[in-house]
Amino acid sequence: MILEHFFQCPYCWEEISMILDMSVSETYIEDCEVCCNPIQLTTNFENNELIAFEAKNIEQ
């Protein structure tokens, strides 16, 4: 299953969306679709429900 999740970019503060795979909890890097800066995304799913989501900037 997939889930579209909306959140605010930690760099440009624009609202963006990501498609999340609900079958796995993970941490990964994806670029903002607006400003192209790398965002570290952490997802945690339990019983096909998003229980935790974090989007943070990567200090470079």
Q: Are 19 and 4 in contact (CB under 8 A)?
A: yes
- Which residues is 27 bridged to in the sheet? 42
Confidence category of residue 60, pLDDT binned at 50, 70, 90: low
Q: Are 40 and 31 in contact (CB under 8 A)?
A: no
For the whole model, what pTM was predicted? 0.85
- Which residues is 28 bridged to in the sheet? 41
pLDDT digit string (tens) for 3-46? 999 999 999 999 999 999 999 999 999 999 999 999 999 999 99
